[in-house]
Chain A
Amino acid sequence: MNTTVNLLIGLAMGLNLLALGSSRLPSIIRAMSVQGMALGLLPLLLEHELDWRVVAVALVTVAVKGFVIPQLLRRAMRAANIEREVEPFIGFVPSLLLGAAGTVAAVAGARALLLLPEHAGTLLVPGALASIFTGLILLVARAKAISQVCGYLIMENGIYLFGLLLIHSTPLLVESGILLDVTVGIFVTGIIVDRIQRAFDSLDTRKLTVLRE
């Protein structure tokens, strides 16, 4: 079972690098949504006994992270009618190298952390740290509002992965609340992205500099 878990997390870590290296917005969104689906399946593998609530949370997570949020973002992208090239603050190759270094550091650093025996053998913590780091890079390195949202979501995926350490103790209410908040958050962000587009005729956050001191 651990092998499957590690395989899915390894896939998520690969998708991190794909998102960092890709220059086109739709491929970043695709990487993010596949990552969300892969991570959404994990509760099914980690939970010892499958009751209907675990299945429900997994299904909802896959649906939201894999379909609802990417669809909202694609719609925002179409409505904004922007060019699909992603213009970076930090180039693609440097951010890819940075991400790779971060992933290596996450794998090495996770060994230094105190983990329970059942978690020490999995990639849960390294995967979480690597995704959080990737998300932060995307947040600061990309200029387009939608790529920043993708960065935020990849970071959320990493935090979600970390939260799976607590799957046997965190009540489902909390998990579903978190998921709901993320969805609403993206919905609100979608609206703001649309307004920014109308107000500035661009989604380039570099134009958002009126308020600089």
Chain B
Amino acid sequence: MKELLLIIVPLAGAALAALWPGERTRPWLLPAVGLVHSVLAFWLLLEPPRVAPDAWLAFDPLARAVLPAVSLLFLVCAAYGVSYLRIRAERSNRVFVASLLAMLGLLSAGHQSRHLGLLWITTEALTLTAVPLLHFNGTARAFEATWKYLLVGGTGIAMSLLGSFCLGYASLYGGGTGDLTFGAMMAQGAGLSRPWVLIAWVLLLVGYGTKMGLAPMHTWKPDAYGEAPGIVGAMLAGGVTTVAFTALLRVRAVVDAAGAGAIADRTLLVIGLFSVVVAALFLLGTRDFKRMLAYSSVEHMGILVIGAGLGRAGVWAALFHVWTNCLTKGTLFLSAGNIRRAAGARTCDEVSGMAVVTPQSAALFVAGLFAVTACPPFGPFFSELRVLRAAIEGGHWAATGVFLGGLLFAFFGLTRLVFAIVDGRPRTPARTGGAHLRESIGVILPPLALLGFSLWLGLATPAVLRDAWTAAVAQLFPAS
């Protein structure tokens, strides 16, 4: 019952936010709901509920392994949101708060969906709740970004629906019932018609890969992350992409059960490496530090998918990386949001010397940079090391080489841009614009807390999380 509350509470909160009259008090609904959600999620992490095998919605081991991370990210972003919306008091926050809360409810539903059709509906609905968040700034550029997001995301999500139908037909053609629950499809196993399974795999990989932002389906990402408020970018990069990733993990398990696991793993490796390389190349070229975050996200989605293609150890590492990426990206998006607000511009041609204008945010941004490029002792270092180890143990030498090369170039690109912004003398507009943002506790503490979590996860990964990831791997690889 508690697992349903994870969905119902945020959706009820969203309805309440839509009706709430007070413009100044409404943002407090965000941390209130976020707190209830986190308490529930971590309670369920410590005391996993029983899962009925044919349930459409359940807090199964995979949901348990990732949903608390998303919940934690939301709670911290919500705390930041209160201060952020106070700064942006010139715009009504009714739709913004309601959409953000609805997004949390749908994220919970997406992670818990054990039925392919239900999963599709929640993913599509997630896409739609993001729309008002993306054009919150109301500029022409923001509408352009939203339009691209709708068009690219909509086409992607249509492909995943087609893929879902193909998987259903694979079951039907193989003499099954066409039941779209993951449990039933895995039970049918080799009975699934193989050609249809492969068609479905390609379509679902394209569809959910578009949602994740894997290259070459990542084109919506730089625009969306560039134009949306930092907290929206953090929720998209840490939350929505995670749902698409777990969807791919669930589908991969079905394809594996149908006997085509080797093909699925190979495609995952190729598309993951391609994403890392493409992201690294764009990182070397971009001059906009908010678009930089998008390319960094493309890179990390690539790492997740590489992990997913490396068998049990790789999937374990990928689940670890979901946590470290989720929390580290939060730090980067929130501190970048502060810098953007203070500087009034977003490219390294217009912004420099932010270490003087916003010293605390700049320090967090630099720390976040080292964390996200997997420098020790931050969390991503340990999770990426695990992915690398899985690759080496699997004997994928060429893949390991390309992966390391991609990481190196991404590191060059990111450091070049971040230090161009932080170092040097402040430009005149930045000096005058700096007055708009006071570095209060409300905008500094949340990214700092996320950085702390990321550090802690790397240095002392709690045993309960390790067990949760192991249980999720056991769910995804039931055969051996």
User: Could you tell me if A196 and B158 are in contact, using CB atoms closer than 8 angstroms?
Assistant: no
Q: Does A199 have its Cβ within 8 Å of any Cβ on chain B?
A: yes
Contacting B at CB under 8 A, from A165-185, are: 165-166, 168-171, 173-174, 177-178, 181, 184-185
Closest to A177 in B: B121
Q: Does B150 have its Cβ within 8 Å of any Cβ on chain A?
A: yes
* Number of chain A residues whose Cβ lies closer than 8 Å to a Cβ of chain B: 40
User: Could you tell me if A166 and B172 are in contact, using CB atoms closer than 8 angstroms?
Assistant: yes
Q: Does A62 have its Cβ within 8 Å of any Cβ on chain B?
A: no
Closest to B178 in A: A169
The residue from A166, A169, A199 contacting B140, defined by CB atoms under 8 A apart: A199
Q: Does B226 have its Cβ within 8 Å of any Cβ on chain A?
A: yes
Q: Does B312 have its Cβ within 8 Å of any Cβ on chain A?
A: no
User: Could you tell me if A169 and B145 are in contact, using CB atoms closer than 8 angstroms?
Assistant: no
User: Provided the pairs A114-B196, A165-B172 are in contact, do residues A185 and B143 lie with their beta carbons within 8 angstroms?
Assistant: no
Residues of A within 8 A of B439 (CB): none
User: Provided the pairs A116-B173, A165-B165, A185-B128 are in contact, do residues A196 and B121 lie with their beta carbons within 8 angstroms?
Assistant: no
User: Could you tell me if B147 and A205 are in contact, using CB atoms closer than 8 angstroms?
Assistant: yes
- Other than the given A136-B155, A159-B161, A184-B125, 5 more pairs (CB < 8 A) read A139-B155, A169-B168, A181-B125, A181-B128, A199-B140
A33 CA / B137 CA spacing, docked (Å):
34
The residue from A171, A173, A177, A184 contacting B128, defined by CB atoms under 8 A apart: A184
Q: Does A210 have its Cβ within 8 Å of any Cβ on chain B?
A: yes
Contacting B at CB under 8 A, from A126-169, are: 132, 136, 139, 145, 148, 152, 155-156, 159, 162-163, 165-166, 168-169
A181 CA / B158 CA spacing, docked (Å):
11
User: Provided the pairs A114-B173, A185-B128, A195-B135 are in contact, do residues A208 and B161 lie with their beta carbons within 8 angstroms?
Assistant: no
Q: Does A200 have its Cβ within 8 Å of any Cβ on chain B?
A: yes
User: Could you tell me if A170 and B128 are in contact, using CB atoms closer than 8 angstroms?
Assistant: no
Residues of A within 8 A of B165 (CB): 159, 162-163, 165-166
Residues of B within 8 A of A45 (CB): none
User: Could you tell me if A211 and B143 are in contact, using CB atoms closer than 8 angstroms?
Assistant: no
Most chain B Cβ neighbours within 10 Å, of A132, A173, A181, A189: A181
User: Provided the pairs A159-B161, A178-B120, A199-B143 are in contact, do residues A166 and B178 lie with their beta carbons within 8 angstroms?
Assistant: yes
Residues of B within 8 A of A104 (CB): none
Contacting A at CB under 8 A, from B50-97, are: none
Residues of A within 8 A of B161 (CB): 159, 163, 178
Q: Does A108 have its Cβ within 8 Å of any Cβ on chain B?
A: no
User: Could you tell me if A177 and B117 are in contact, using CB atoms closer than 8 angstroms?
Assistant: yes
A171 CA / B145 CA spacing, docked (Å):
36
CB distance from B92 to the nearest CB of A (A): 15
List, sorted by A's number, 20 A–B pairs whose CB atoms are closer than 8 Å. A115-B173, A116-B173, A136-B155, A139-B151, A152-B154, A152-B155, A155-B158, A159-B161, A159-B165, A163-B161, A166-B165, A178-B161, A181-B125, A185-B128, A185-B154, A188-B150, A192-B146, A205-B147, A208-B144, A211-B145
User: Could you tell me if A159 and B158 are in contact, using CB atoms closer than 8 angstroms?
Assistant: yes
User: Provided the pairs A181-B121, A181-B125 are in contact, do residues A192 and B131 lie with their beta carbons within 8 angstroms?
Assistant: yes
Residues of B within 8 A of A181 (CB): 121, 124-125, 128
CB distance from A39 to the nearest CB of B (A): 15
Contacting A at CB under 8 A, from B109-144, are: 115, 117-118, 120-121, 124-125, 128, 131, 135, 139-141, 143-144
Closest to B154 in A: A152
Q: Does B384 have its Cβ within 8 Å of any Cβ on chain A?
A: no
Residues of A within 8 A of B376 (CB): none
Most chain A Cβ neighbours within 10 Å, of B140, B148, B227: B140
Residues of B within 8 A of A195 (CB): 135, 143
A150 CA / B404 CA spacing, docked (Å):
44
Residues of A within 8 A of B158 (CB): 152, 155-156, 159
Q: Which 5 A-B pairs have the closest CB atoms?
A: A169-B178, A174-B117, A199-B140, A177-B121, A208-B144
Residues of A within 8 A of B103 (CB): none
Residues of B within 8 A of A168 (CB): 178
Most chain A Cβ neighbours within 10 Å, of B158, B193, B223: B158
Q: Does B195 have its Cβ within 8 Å of any Cβ on chain A?
A: yes
Closest to B224 in A: A211
The residue from A132, A159, A189 contacting B150, defined by CB atoms under 8 A apart: A189
Q: Does B169 have its Cβ within 8 Å of any Cβ on chain A?
A: yes
A162 CA / B445 CA spacing, docked (Å):
51
Residues of B within 8 A of A213 (CB): 222, 285-286
Q: Does B36 have its Cβ within 8 Å of any Cβ on chain A?
A: no
Residues of B within 8 A of A114 (CB): 173, 193, 195-196
A148 CA / B223 CA spacing, docked (Å):
19
Residues of A within 8 A of B124 (CB): 181, 185
Residues of A within 8 A of B146 (CB): 192
